[in-house]
Each structure stands twice: as C-alpha cells, then as structure tokens.
A and B are shown apart, each in its own frame.
Chain A
C-alpha cells in the first residue's frame, strides 16, 4: 500500500542499518516493542568491515531475535526490497560513497545520514542527486528523529526511560523539527508535558547544508491531517528560517506554528564564536537570532520572549486548539507492557549459542518453522527434510528430487573405495557402528568424494570469468592443479560411468537451463582428448548440477550460491549418501562374523634404507 508523500515513516516501515550499530538497533527494537509494532523496524544490518555475514542477536522485549547481517549494501537491498529507509552510520570518510550508492537503489526512499564532518560539497552533491531521483535525506550530522508509536531512527529518543517519559510509544498531535539532535529529546519531553505529545519529531542536523530543511518538514506536517500544530527550533546562522517566514506569509503554512531561534546570546559576544554546530555562525544582521525571531513573529508564528517561556507558549496554543475542537481528547494508550521482571542487564544476557533450523521447546518439534506433524502427514520426502534443515526453506519439488537422486547415487560404490574399506577394516577389528562409520567418513576429503565443492567452485569461477573451456583447462594445467570433478580411476570414455549418465538424463529432463553442465561437458571433450579416463566424474557432475539448480530456483544471489558452496554444503550430500553405504558395510561384516583383518605381506612393497645410511648422521661416538 503506497504511503502518502508526506509520510516518511509509519508502523510498517522497515530500515536497513549501515554500520555495526548493535546499540542503536537495540534501541530501535525497544521502541518498536513499546509501541506494539507488528514486526521489528530493522530489516537488516550491513557490516562492511566485518567481512563475514551472519546475524546480529538483539532483543525484542524479553525475547532474543536475529537480524540478518550482510557485508554489502547491495545484497541487503536486494534481499529486503520492502525496506525503504537506509540509516547510514558510515563515518565522514565513507558516508558520501555509501549515500551515493543508497540513492541509486529504487527501493530506498529515505536516507538518514548520521555522520558529522562530511565535506559540504559532497553533501551538496548528495542533495542535488536526491532531488533528481525524488528521495528524502535527513542529516548529515543528526541523530534522526521519530514518529511516536510507529518508527524511530537509530539512537534518537535515547534510553527506554525517556521513551516512556516523553510518551514516544503513541502518537500525539504536534509536529516538531529542529536542527539540533540533542534538543530533539528535550523538546519531545517539553512537548509531552505541555500537549498531547509529538506526532513526529525530526532533527535535520547542524550542518550548513542539511539534506532536508526545516521548511521541507514543516510542509510535510502541514499536509498531514493528523498533525494539528507545529513547533520549530531554529538556530543563529543561515537563512533557512526566512523560508519559513515566506511560507507563513504566502499561506503555504496555515497550521499554528510555535517558533524559536536560538543564539540570541551572540550579540554580547565580542568576536565570532563557532558554536558546536557547523551551520551556527551568523554572517550579517539577517542571520542573527533576534532578527529571525522578529521576522517569524511578524509573519504570524507564535514566538516566545525566551526559550524559558517556550513550554508555556506551546501549552497555550495547544489548549486553544483543544477549546476550538481542532484537537480532540484522545484515549490514552499505554505502552506494550514489558515483562514484569524486566531488567535489561539481567534479562538481556546474550546467549552463547544460536540456532535457526529447529526448535524442540514448544508443543511440537519444528523443522525450520514447520511442525513435525505437517512434515509427516503431508508426506514430505527425505529431500524435503534435507531442504528444511539445510536450507531453511522447502525448495521446489525438482530440487528435492535432485537431492534424493544424489543421495541414492552416492549411497555406495562397492567395498574397495576408501570409505567402505576403512569401515570394513574397523568393523573387522571389532569396533562398533559409530567408530566404524566414523573411520570411513574421515576419508572423505579432497581426493575422495570431496571434489563436489571444489568442482562447483572452480567451474563456476571459470564460467563467471568468461573463460572458454580451452582457456580453463590451460589455466589449470599452468597452475598444476588437476581439475576437480574430472577423471576416474577405472571409468573412461569407452566405459562410461552410468551414474553420470543418469544425472545428465535427469538434468535434460528437469532443468530448462544447465549452463554449468554444458560447460563441463565441453571441458570434458578437451580433457578426454588427452586421456580417455579424464571424464566428468560423479562428484563433479553433482557439484556442477547443483549450481545450475540453485540458479534455476531464482531464490539465491550469486554471492549466496558461492557461500553455500564455500560452507561445504555439497560435500554434505556425499557424506549423507555414502553413510548409508558405510552402515551397510558395517552390518554386512557383523552378519558375516568376519575376523581381524591383516594385510598380506606380498601386497606391500618393502623398501627400507640400509642401516649405515640411517646412522651416518650421528657422527663418531
């Protein structure tokens, strides 16, 4: 549902946070919880320096939840197309580049820039671009702001006690905007004490060129029927307040406006003083606070005599609107109750272990959120169960079919291969099932069975880099690496591996596109021309097809596919399948009551060095 233009944030708004800002995220979630939002307002976090992706563990009320963390903004935006706010915590050095990137994404509508100290020209360029693409910038050099009961930016609003004190968990009728972020809380509190509270409060930041101006936000408030009166806190320096004067005079602002411009002290200062805010430096009479206050009063704003009287004036304007019936008495809504024994420091002990695939605590066991009863009664296959527990989603049927096919094909390959051999020898030594199977599993690695990952990785990389099959083969040869997934000890062109043929048949029947397989078969043509046993083997075929399949689902970004491979998922298929065979071999040995195995001498080539040769490094006694 499209929001009206004047609404930047509502109860459904979600944001991406750029920067590893655990505290800020937690404060947003505290606000969300008190406000009774349906879902947390933070969709994702981007941590560009962490390198690794993963999750940030935070609390929603008393419950711990996980927010996805990405290392690239682009991925976060792609994965969370509903998040239309980016809160940019990047430092002044990189804030510009991150902001430029953010403005290029169509799903991001509002950009909040926290950093202080961004060069003015960079800020102006960002502003120019934001106007061109029709987006809002709040900041730089700000804490942001909040829409009580709906959405809160980062650290704005401070601690929970302040959210409660200033009633930021539910909307009032007053729209507030200031330059100063520090004064945002103070004013929210003052406004809560003297009216029914804030509807929205924004700090535009203390820089000379804020991304959006005081007037920009007042005009939004003017358009928003839920806002009945407005309060603005201006500052000495600059001429932004005169835009408000013009808007009052031309009738673009009609709602009652209480205004105060700070910096009246400057007149007694002997020389120029740079205040805490970069923009607060009066050049000329017009930029002086007194002149601005006078102009605002003359244009019809309510202007107090000093800041000290500001609260009283807000109360007067509010009471007047209430007497006129413009503001109706609202039923006071309380915050969502925090747990009774809620003490952040005690309740919020972060856990040491995270789990996102299964949960045994409820009435029923859950596999990735699916109750076990559903898995059984609705006839989920083994492929579906693998899909739930490995990929945290029920993948389409052709994918789970493939998983089952791969498990079946890799289940066993006779007694002579490493895993079966070790299992058999261990079983013959009288060990139990787990020890025997474990000794078999431990042989799975780069030379045996473990080529699935590597095949997927090398072929995918070559194809991504646009290498022709010939270039790929030459490159691998030059590096002295045997191509993973190519070659078999006994099978050859003349004596093809039926398992590979079956996988290929499946691919032709079930996949509309199989780019990786086609590429691998071209590579095979080249390698088999050299030696006829350099065929695409079963490991290679599974690895390669799995990439084709993951791509065909449209669920995963390339980067995520890389990560699935890097984690070792594909080797998991082999380990899982082959375990069936190893258990079989163990049981077979037990049934046959086989005795301890001893390898025959004549099958070992003994080639020891002479005694003199060995001892000659000792030196004379």
Chain B
C-alpha cells in the first residue's frame, strides 16, 4: 500500500540476518536486540537471550517515535534488573511526544555501547534516485548540526560500487574513510535490495569491522512484501504512535488485506454526528474536506472508503461495522450518514449497494432510535438499479433517507446533511 514504519527491533533483526551477505563478510553486527511486549515474560526473555544478564544495557520504547532521549525515555548503562524495573514502571503509561499522546507498550533492549564517535547515516528515495545523507557529527543534536550533513545522489540504475563516496567523507583519516566507505556501500545495498523506503542510523559507530547501530529508524515499502517476504522475516507494521487501532478498525484492516478491493476505516471521533461511507480513494477525501470546510470538522466521526469493485459480502461487512459504531453512543439531536461517492469507472453500484442495503436492514431499528438521517449520492455502472434499490429499502425500512444520482453535484449532499444537522432545512 505504501511506505510504513517498522520497529527498530525488526530493522536491526533484518540487518543482522543479511549483513554478512551484503558485506561479503567484511562487516559484522551481532544483532543483539530484544523486544519487550506487554505480554512478554522478562524471565523467559533473559533465558532465551542470556547476554541480557551479563551486559550493561540500553532500554528505550520501540513504537515508531524518535527523540526518546529528549523525552526522558532512554535508559542507558544499566543492569537487567534495573532495566526490568524501568520497563515495568513505564509499561502502559501514557506519554506525550510532540503533539501526540499514546501508551507505551513496546521496549527495545540492547547492549550498552561506549561511543567515541557518533556518525549519522540515512538513505531515502526520490523520483530519479536515492539520497545518501552522512555526517560525522550524528546523535541527538543532528538537527542543530545539519550543516555538517553531506548529501549524495545515486541514480536508480547506478551500481553503488561505481559511485564515488569521497565527497561524503572529506576531512576524515584514511583508515576511517576506508571502513566508512565499505559500510555505506554495504548498507546502501541492503536498503535498496530489501525495498526500504527510508533507513536511518543515528547515531552509529564502529570498532574494527564491528558495526554498532545505536539508533535505527526504518520504513519498508510494504507493496514489496511479495518479493521480500523471506528476507524480511516475520516483520510487523505497527500503527503510528498514539494511533491504537480499535477492534473495528483492525477488522476492516484485515478485510482490506485479504481483498483485492480497497476498504479503509479510521475512527476520528466516535461521538461525532457526521458519519461517512464513501466510495473511492479520491472522493472520500473530498467528502471529508467538505465536512471540515463547512465547519463540522469536530463532528466528523470517521474517515473511510471502499473502492476497486468490492463484493457484496465485503461491502456488507464494511457497512455493518460502520453502522454498529454509529449506533453505539446516543447524542443530542440527529446523526447524519452520508453514503457518497463519485461516478464509478468499474465498481458495480448495484452490487455494492446490495451489501449496504443488507446492513441497513440489520441496523434499521437502531438507526431510527438514534435519529439517523441518511443521504445517498452515487453514479457509475448500474447506478440506476443501485439507487432504486436503496430508495426502496429506505421506504420499506422506514428510514429517513434521500437518494441522488450523478445529476447532483458530488458534495451537495454534504451541504444538505449539515443544514439538517443544524436544524436549518427540514425543521426550519
């Protein structure tokens, strides 16, 4: 689907599996990392990874956010018992990082490394190639030292071995240059061949041929899973920090992953009065925009979309999940449901509307209890049949519903719905 962040633990695990191959055995990384999850037994973990009890350790949350040192979420040079105590204390605590608050649930433990030189290295892609960003002054203050970062571009069809890395390594000793050149070459190939979208080591250091990635940030292009399933191993794509998936969102995500069609659902405000069930990746954004532009952003309950010709069953499951969420919390006045969409290219409107109608049948009574008003607007293959069916269903089930076709401007139903919500149109 897109580039998605992975845990530092996974990024290091994958590197440890492949570094020998990519460096032809010239670089080593011991891959000593442990991930503490909410249901993990810390005793079992140390039995599995005995170095936890013998080494001095570094501990930090592993939940796709950075600047952990600055937020007091980094513990260094401690024993395993100190580490355990710290983890137990922090587990499930809510913390705020930047503007985002979330619960701490995953921690990374690795051996503490004494660092003389902290380097910065990052790879990122752009349309015509890839960037290598390097600085001999890495670490927490990288942003303050941004002028020390040098950048190099690598064209897509160029071999990294043919690229002159010297401009990155100006002012360094010959031995250091040699090692860094080999390291950058190796890690770039690792980044490129394993379909990373972003890979950052900040800081890292090295001693002889041993590489120490102290901090790692990585995003994988998850569409490459079919190519890299084996190389990546059992990799997890966690939701962004502070975005814990609700069970319903999780359910739709699973449905989406199994289907050739696209099904997306994000709950923004479960108490919101404006619910949307919109077809199409482009149109769904425009419906949400219009709700916000008309001043109802804080009432917008969800973002979501279904597209790519989902089956009747898939649409039914999707609609049912949404209607269930919509009819949980009573609110003052009415709620509105916008069943919207543009003019489809190939999604069969009649077929997808069948699924929505089945869900409306299941939830008709609840919808009425919640004073739901339903607004439909859709076009595309078989839209006449689809609209006629849903209109008939609305009448049969006694739902407050109005139905429009492509002759009405796509987002006009949003205006009408919001007017009704204000009590302006029908009650006024």
Instruction: Check: A278 CB closer than 8 A to any chain B CB.
Output: yes
Of the stretches B47-55, B144-152, B282-290, B321-329, the one at the interface is B282-290
Chain B positions 106-156 with a Cβ under 8 Å from a chain A Cβ:
125, 127-129, 155-156
B268: nearest chain-A partner, CB-CB: A269
The minimal Cβ–Cβ distance linking A565 to chain B, given in whole angstroms, is: 39
CA distance A233 to B381 in the complex (A): 23
Of the stretches B18-26, B75-83, B86-94, B407-415, the one at the interface is B407-415
Q: Are A119 and B195 in contact (CB under 8 A)?
A: yes
Q: Are A180 and B2 in contact (CB under 8 A)?
A: no
Q: Are B289 and A264 in contact (CB under 8 A)?
A: yes
Q: Are B280 and A182 in contact (CB under 8 A)?
A: yes
Instruction: Check: A1 CB closer than 8 A to any chain B CB.
Output: no
Q: Are A271 and B242 in contact (CB under 8 A)?
A: yes
Instruction: Check: B372 CB closer than 8 A to any chain A CB.
Output: no
Of the stretches A98-106, A154-162, A548-556, the one at the interface is A154-162
> Which of B1, B155, B279 interacts with A128 by CB under 8 Å?
B155
> Which of B1, B226, B279, B285 interacts with A236 by CB under 8 Å?
B285
Q: Are B221 and A308 in contact (CB under 8 A)?
A: no
CA distance A209 to B197 in the complex (A): 12
Smallest CB-CB A-B distances: 4 pairs: A180-B282, A276-B281, A182-B280, A186-B342
Instruction: Check: B105 CB closer than 8 A to any chain A CB.
Output: no
Instruction: Check: B303 CB closer than 8 A to any chain A CB.
Output: yes
Of the stretches B29-37, B293-301, B330-338, B354-362, the one at the interface is B293-301
Of the stretches B9-17, B175-183, B343-351, the one at the interface is B343-351
Contact bitstring A179-215, B, C-beta under 8 A = 1, else 0:
1111111101110000000000000001011000000
Q: Are B289 and A186 in contact (CB under 8 A)?
A: no
Q: How many residues of B contact A (CB 8 A)?
A: 67
Instruction: Check: A539 CB closer than 8 A to any chain B CB.
Output: no
Contact bitstring A125-157, B, C-beta under 8 A = 1, else 0:
101110000000000000100000000000111
Instruction: Check: B227 CB closer than 8 A to any chain A CB.
Output: yes
7 more A-B contacts (CB under 8 A) besides A120-B197, A127-B128, A180-B282? A120-B223, A182-B307, A264-B292, A268-B292, A305-B293, A307-B289, A308-B290
Q: Are B100 and A92 in contact (CB under 8 A)?
A: no
Report B-chain residues with C-beta under 8 Å of the C-beta of A278.
Answer: 1-2, 223
Chain B positions 387-428 with a Cβ under 8 Å from a chain A Cβ:
406, 409-412, 414-415
Chain B contacts to A: CB under 8 angstroms: 1-3, 100, 125, 127-129, 155-157, 192, 195, 197, 221, 223-224, 226-227, 240, 242-243, 262, 264, 266, 268, 279-286, 288-294, 297-298, 300, 303, 305, 307-308, 341-346, 379-384, 406, 409-412, 414-415
Report B-chain residues with C-beta under 8 Å of the C-beta of A93.
Answer: 226
CA distance A267 to B380 in the complex (A): 31
Report B-chain residues with C-beta under 8 Å of the C-beta of A178.
Answer: 282
Interchain residue pairs with CB less than 8 A apart (8): A121-B221, A185-B379, A186-B406, A190-B410, A268-B297, A269-B303, A275-B281, A276-B284
Instruction: Check: A274 CB closer than 8 A to any chain B CB.
Output: yes
CA distance A607 to B346 in the complex (A): 74
Q: Are A165 and B406 in contact (CB under 8 A)?
A: yes
Given A92-B223, A120-B197 in contact, is the A183-B292 Cβ separation under 8 Å?
Answer: no
The minimal Cβ–Cβ distance linking A140 to chain B, given in whole angstroms, is: 10
Classify chain A: how many residues form its interface, as a range: 35 or more
Chain A positions 398-441 with a Cβ under 8 Å from a chain B Cβ:
none
Report A-chain residues with C-beta under 8 Å of the C-beta of B243.
Answer: 271-272
Report A-chain residues with C-beta under 8 Å of the C-beta of B242.
Answer: 270-271
Most chain B CB atoms below 10 A, which of A143, A267, A307 = A307
Report A-chain residues with C-beta under 8 Å of the C-beta of B223.
Answer: 92, 117-120, 278
CA distance A158 to B227 in the complex (A): 33
Q: Are B283 and A180 in contact (CB under 8 A)?
A: yes
Instruction: Check: A478 CB closer than 8 A to any chain B CB.
Output: no
Report A-chain residues with C-beta under 8 Å of the C-beta of B127.
Answer: 124, 127, 209
Q: Are A265 and B224 in contact (CB under 8 A)?
A: no
> Which of B2, B279, B292, B384 interacts with A265 by CB under 8 Å?
B292
Contact bitstring A278-298, B, C-beta under 8 A = 1, else 0:
111100000001000000000
Q: Are A308 and B300 in contact (CB under 8 A)?
A: no
Contact bitstring A107-124, B, C-beta under 8 A = 1, else 0:
000000000111111101
Report A-chain residues with C-beta under 8 Å of the C-beta of B406.
Answer: 162, 165, 186, 189
Q: Are A274 and B192 in contact (CB under 8 A)?
A: no
A115: nearest chain-B partner, CB-CB: B223
CA distance A278 to B222 in the complex (A): 11
Given A128-B156, A182-B281, A182-B282 in contact, is the A189-B343 Cβ separation under 8 Å?
Answer: yes
Report A-chain residues with C-beta under 8 Å of the C-beta of B281.
Answer: 180, 182, 206, 275-277, 280
Q: Are A275 and B290 in contact (CB under 8 A)?
A: no
Q: Are B157 and A128 in contact (CB under 8 A)?
A: yes
Q: Are B346 and A268 in contact (CB under 8 A)?
A: no
CA distance A265 to B288 in the complex (A): 6
CA distance A161 to B343 in the complex (A): 11
Q: Are A265 and B291 in contact (CB under 8 A)?
A: yes
> Which of B129, B195, B268, B280 interacts with A183 by CB under 8 Å?
B280
Q: Are B285 and A158 in contact (CB under 8 A)?
A: no
Report B-chain residues with C-beta under 8 Å of the C-beta of A122.
Answer: 224
The minimal Cβ–Cβ distance linking A281 to chain B, given in whole angstroms, is: 7
CA distance A159 to B414 in the complex (A): 26
Report A-chain residues with C-beta under 8 Å of the C-beta of B285.
Answer: 235-236, 262-263, 265, 275-276, 280
Report A-chain residues with C-beta under 8 Å of the C-beta of B343.
Answer: 158, 162, 166, 185-186, 188-189
Q: Are A182 and B409 in contact (CB under 8 A)?
A: no
CA distance A272 to B243 in the complex (A): 8
Instruction: Check: A331 CB closer than 8 A to any chain B CB.
Output: no
CA distance A280 to B414 in the complex (A): 22
B409: nearest chain-A partner, CB-CB: A311
Instruction: Check: A306 CB closer than 8 A to any chain B CB.
Output: yes
Instruction: Check: A605 CB closer than 8 A to any chain B CB.
Output: no
Report A-chain residues with C-beta under 8 Å of the C-beta of B262.
Answer: 116, 276
CA distance A531 to B428 in the complex (A): 108
Contact bitstring A30-73, B, C-beta under 8 A = 1, else 0:
00000000000000000000000000000000000000000000
Report B-chain residues with C-beta under 8 Å of the C-beta of A186.
Answer: 283, 342-343, 379, 406, 410
Report B-chain residues with C-beta under 8 Å of the C-beta of A289.
Answer: 289
B291: nearest chain-A partner, CB-CB: A265
A121: nearest chain-B partner, CB-CB: B195
The minimal Cβ–Cβ distance linking A252 to chain B, given in whole angstroms, is: 19
Report A-chain residues with C-beta under 8 Å of the C-beta of B157.
Answer: 125, 128-129
Given A121-B195, A308-B293 in contact, is the A262-B286 Cβ separation under 8 Å?
Answer: yes
CA distance A278 to B290 in the complex (A): 21
Instruction: Check: A490 CB closer than 8 A to any chain B CB.
Output: no
B296: nearest chain-A partner, CB-CB: A268
The minimal Cβ–Cβ distance linking B413 to chain A, given in whole angstroms, is: 11
A203: nearest chain-B partner, CB-CB: B282
Report B-chain residues with C-beta under 8 Å of the C-beta of A189.
Answer: 343, 379, 406
Report A-chain residues with C-beta under 8 Å of the C-beta of B411.
Answer: 307-308
CA distance A191 to B142 in the complex (A): 50
> Which of A162, A236, A263, A265 interacts with B300 by CB under 8 Å?
A265
Report B-chain residues with C-beta under 8 Å of the C-beta of A156.
Answer: 345
CA distance A182 to B281 in the complex (A): 7
Instruction: Check: A608 CB closer than 8 A to any chain B CB.
Output: no
Q: Are B346 and A23 in contact (CB under 8 A)?
A: yes
The minimal Cβ–Cβ distance linking B130 to chain A, given in whole angstroms, is: 9
The minimal Cβ–Cβ distance linking B79 to chain A, given in whole angstroms, is: 36
Instruction: Check: A353 CB closer than 8 A to any chain B CB.
Output: no
The minimal Cβ–Cβ distance linking A174 to chain B, given in whole angstroms, is: 17
Instruction: Check: A481 CB closer than 8 A to any chain B CB.
Output: no
Report B-chain residues with C-beta under 8 Å of the C-beta of A179.
Answer: 282
B348: nearest chain-A partner, CB-CB: A159
A142: nearest chain-B partner, CB-CB: B345
Report B-chain residues with C-beta under 8 Å of the C-beta of A274.
Answer: 1-2, 264
CA distance A280 to B305 in the complex (A): 14
Contact bitstring A242-263, B, C-beta under 8 A = 1, else 0:
0000000000000000000011
Report A-chain residues with C-beta under 8 Å of the C-beta of B344.
Answer: 158, 182, 185
Q: Are A306 and B226 in contact (CB under 8 A)?
A: no
